[in-house]
Amino acid sequence: MKKDQIFEFFRRLAEANPAPETELAYGNTYQLLVAVTISAQATDVGVNKATRRLFEEVKTPAQMVALGEEGLKAHIKSIGLFNTKAKNVIALSEILVRDHGGEVPADRDALTALPGVGRKTANVVLNTAFGMETFAVDTHIFRVGNRTGLAKGKTPEAVEAGLDKKVPGPFRLGAHHWLILHGRYVCKARTPECWRCGVVDLCGFKGKVLEQGAKPPVTKKKVARTKKA
């Protein structure tokens, strides 16, 4: 995708949704960190359902530590891997209390040093809570980046680097929200809804589904030839 096409790509997404934001529910930066940390392999809807009562009770790391691991499990047991996630959240809360005065640090290295917090989670927090121009590459952004030709890469890190290099200044802050929402609701994994996509003419995907109800074209997989022994 060329430079002018990328600008137009984001211009249209911005026009359709001028103020994109995460669909995770939270009341403060600490709750955002917790929500993102437990969202791995879970839907935002599922996380919000699990944290609704939790966040009424717990608003600070100290309160989470007081709740304890078993108490947290009772709230998030509907989410996959809840045992490991509860252990990590209690551990990171203890570190925030001990080393950061109960505050979430606005620093990627400090965030990724916390149990259960990877680069993607750190980037979400830095962008959403602290207004930094970061690109949190989840499965949706990874797919959209590669499928459209916006930022191709074999790893999330490669796609992130491509976005960091290519996304124009006016759209950098909201870019990862637009891409996540676009991947979640339009550029879907199994059957992209190209027939209602506002950037379809800019997209480099060869298997576009241009009619509602149609299926993606079947592509033949290349079989690697091997030399005889």
Q: Which residues are annotated as a binding site for [4Fe-4S] cluster?
A: 187, 194, 197, 203
For residue 144, count other CB atoms closer than 10 A to its CB: 26
Please compute, for residue 119, the number of CA atoms within 13 A of its CA located in the half-sphere on the CB side.
Answer: 12
Catalytic residue among 44, 120, 164, 208: 120
Do 50 and 86 meet the contact criterion of CB atoms below 8 Å apart?
A: no
Contact 151, 159 (CB under 8 A): yes
Residue 115 φ/ψ, nearest 5 degrees: -55, 130
* Residue 138 annotated in active site: yes
Give the other-Cβ count within 10 Å of 99's Cβ: 12
Q: Which two tokens stand for residue 222?
A: 């290349």
**Which residue out of 59, 138, 152, 166 is catalytically annotated?**
138
SS3 of 4, please?
Answer: helix
Residue type, 54: L
CA distance 46 to 98: 30
Listed residue (46, 120, 35, 113) closest to 78, CA to CA: 46
Cite the annotated binding site by residue number: 187, 194, 197, 203
How many beta carbons lie within 10 A of that of residue 131, not counting itself? 10
* Cα–chain center distance at 114: 18
Cα separation, 112 vs 57, whole angstroms:
26
Residues marked as catalytic? 120, 138
